[in-house]
Structure 1
Amino acid sequence: MRILHLITHFDLGGAERVAANIAASTSEGMEYHVVEILRGRSDYTPKFLSELRAAGVKCHRSWIPDISWHFLVERIAALLFPLRMLYIMLRLRPDVIHTHTETPDLALYVCVRLMPWLFHHTRIVRTIHNTRLWTGLPRTALWVERMFIKRQSNVAISDSVRDAYAGRFGSEPPIIHNGVGEVPQQPWTQLHPGKVNILFAGRLEPQKGVNVLCDVLRMMSADQRFFFTIAGDGSQRPLVEYTLAGGETGLPLTNARLLPPIYSLPSYLASFHYLFMPSVFEGLSMLSMEASINRLPVIANDAPGLRDTLPPDWPLMAHGNALDDYRRIFECLYDDAFRTRIADKAQQYARLNFSIRSMQQRYEEFYLTPKR
């Protein structure tokens, strides 16, 4: 069986990581390809490609540059993709096409609309990675989702994603949880000894709760027992820089710093004491699961798709990103015995619920269900 995964780009991202983990399956009789819609060009791209190729996955690069500008480049790429897809389909004749995130979803939709005969014998599978889809594109949402629902292609990654999709589109997809694995750990050399080192890592966008991150940084600015490492980039980077520079007070924060994204981040997670995730919503947070399985406790907002990754009685959960909840949580973080205990608890939960091999096998079973 030949399976094509369509991803936005060979770059750092939760959906891309899921596609890579599925494609790395060692199941007999499965041949995996990964196709990007936009050409990834970050420092992480060569590492990602090397990892896939080492696992025997065939990688197909795009020639359209990855430029984010009001979703315009993504739409152009989707409209041009049928020319490339025709060549791929005639050359590879895949049994399954598995798409991830909105840009590949839209590209595949355009292909099916323009060349429906090309997909008569191909199973289409689509993973829904987020609780919110097609923001600002309601008409596109209706067109694209109608196709995926008709073909019974959809798979949700969590209860929150399934319920959000059912509430908006009236269809309840099956659930296959994302899988993560334990990664050999190496020391992060930029820690601040003698302090509780807290990591925030991710895109600096509203979804990730960057406003709340800045509120917490201001709240904790006088407490030198903590040191915050913020690793990421995005549209709200200026807000973070303004906060670290002292904002209206003009007094720079001395217990926090901003770094670019940390590549190979999972291999450094155990170096930190806690991970801070004030996300407003997630699909099923890969970073939270990777942190747990590598024994890094997560300070989390009880957002859909984030709370699903942690034990039901998790003690480091804030409700609605309330600052009073975070103030209470931070008072518990000095106790090493407490941290060891909840790190064990999180790791056991992640091992039980988010196995990579289980995810691979369940998707491969889904690939074999009758074509629609």
Structure 2
Amino acid sequence: MRILHLITHFDLGGAERVAANIAASTTEGMEYHVVEILRGRSDYTTKFVSELRAAGVQCHRSWMPDISWHFLVERIAALLFPLRMLYIMLRLRPDVVHTHTETPDLALYVSVRLMPWLFRHTRIVRTIHNTRLWTGLPRTARWVERMFVKRQSNVAISDSVRDAYAERFGSVPPIIHNGVSEVPQHPWSQLCQGKVNILFAGRLEPQKGVRVLCDVLRMLSADSRFFFTIAGDGSERPLVEQTIAGDENSRPLTNARLVPPIYGLAGCLASFDYLFMPSEFEGLSMLSMEASMNRLPVIANDAPGLRDTLPPDWPLMAHANDTDDYRRIFGRLCDDAFRTRIADRAQQYARANFSIRGMQQRYEEFYARSRH
């Protein structure tokens, strides 16, 4: 069986990581290809492509530059993609086309509408990675989702994603949880010795709770027990920079620093003491699962797609990003025995629920069961 994964770009991202993990399957009789819609161009791209090729996955690079500007470039890429898709389909004749995230979803939708005959004997599978789809694009949502529902293509990655989709579009997709693996750990050289090192890693966008992060930084600005490393970039980076630098009403923070995204982050998660995730919403957070799998406890907001990754009654969970909850949580973090106990609990939960091999097998069963 030949499976073609469509992703936005070969770059750092949860959905891209899921596609790569599925495509790295060693199941006999499965041939995997990964196609990007926009050409990835970060430091991570080369490593990502090399990793896939080493696993025997064929990678198909795009010529369309990856420029984020009000979703305009993504829409142009989606409208132009059918020309490339025609070539790929005639050359590879895949049994399954599996799409991830909105740009590939839209590109595939346009291709199917323009060339329905091309997909007559090809199964379409679509993983829903988020609880919120097509923000600000209601008409596009109606068109695209009608196709996926009619073809019974959808797979949700968590209960929260399934329920959000069912409420909005009236269809209840099956669930296949994302999978992550334990990664050999190596020390991260920039830790602040003698402190409780807390990591925030991800896109500096509203979805990730950046404003709450800044509130907590200010709340703990005088607490010398903690040191925060904020690794990432995005539209709210100036807010983080301003918070750390201080202003006329506050002093510069001495217990926090902003660094670029950490490539290969999974391999150094155990260097930190805690991961801070005040996200407003997630699909099913890969970072949270990777942290738990590698014994890094997560301080989390009780948000859809994030709470699903952690054990029930998780003691480091804040409700609705409540500052008082975070004040209580941070008051417990200097207890080493407590940290060891909850790190063990989180790892056991992740091992039982989020293995990569289990995810691969469930998708491959879905592919085989759905063939025409």
Q: TM-score, normalised by structure 1?
A: 0.99
Q: Deviations over 1:244-286 (max 9, x none)?
A: 0114425210000000000000000000000000000000000
Does 2:292 align with 1:301?
A: no
- Give the length in aligned residue pairs: 372
What does residue 334 of structure 2 align with? Answer: 334
| Distance in 2, Cα, partners of 1:143 & 1:335 | 53
In structure 2, the residue matched to 1:2 is 2
Q: Distance in 2 between matches of 1:214 and 1:363?
A: 39
What residue number does 2:266 align with? 266
- In structure 2, the partner of 1:215 is 215
Hey, what does 2:362 align to over in structure 1?
A: 362
> Alpha-carbon deviation of 1:233?
0.2
Q: In structure 1, how many angstroms separate the alpha carbons of the residues matched to 2:109 and 2:328?
A: 48
Amino acid at match of 2:335: D
1:137-171: CA deviation from partner (whole Å, max 9, x where unpaired): 00000000000000000000000000000000000
Equivalent runs, 1:149-298 vs 2, <5 Å: 149-298=149-298
> Whole-Å Cα distance in 1 between the matches of residues 15 and 41 of structure 2?
17
What displacement does 1:371 show?
A: 4.4
Once residues 203 and 82 of structure 1 are traced to their aligned partners in structure 2, the CA distance between those partners, rounded to angstroms, is: 30
- Aligned ranges for residues 99-110 of structure 1 at < 5 Å? 99-110=99-110
Give the match for residue 68 of structure 2.
Answer: 68
Partners of 2:326 and 2:248 in 1: CA distance: 23
Cα distance in 2, alignment partners of residues 345 and 250 from structure 1: 39
**Local SS of the residue matching 1:252:** coil
2:228 counterpart SS class: strand
Give the counterpart letter for 2:59 in structure 1.
Answer: C
Between the aligned residues of both structures, percent identity stands at 87
Verify: 1:91 aligned to 2:87, yes or no: no
Instruction: Name 2:80's counterpart in structure 1.
Output: 80
Deviations 1:15-41 (A, max 9, x none): 000000000000000000000000000
Task: Give the AA of the match of 1:300.
Answer: A
The amino acid that maps onto 1:45 is T
For the residues of structure 1 that align with 2:248 and 2:215, how far apart are their CA atoms? Answer: 13
Give the Cα–Cα distance (whole angstroms) in 2 for the partners of residues 145 and 100 of structure 1: 13
- The residue aligned with 1:58 is 58
Counterpart Cα distance in 1 of 2:52 and 2:247: 43
Root-mean-square deviation over aligned CA pairs: 0.7
Work out the CA distance in 1 between the residues paired with 2:134 and 2:247: 34
Rounded Cα–Cα distance in structure 2 between residues aligned with 1:137 and 1:166: 18
CA distance in 1, matches of 2:254, 2:355: 40
Q: Residue 27 of structure 1 aligns to a residue in which SS?
A: coil
AA aligned opposite 1:162: R
Q: How much has 1:368 moved relative to structure 2?
A: 1.1
Structure 1 residue 102: Cα displacement = 0.1
Distance, in Å, in 1 between the alignment partners of 2:247 and 2:182 is 39
Aligned partner letter, 1:346:
A
1:105 Cα deviation after fit: 0.1
| CA–CA distance in structure 2, aligned partners of residues 310 and 221 of structure 1 | 28
Q: Which amino acid aligns with 1:307?
A: R
1:273-310 deviations in Å (ceiling 9; x for gaps): 00000000000000000000000000000000000000
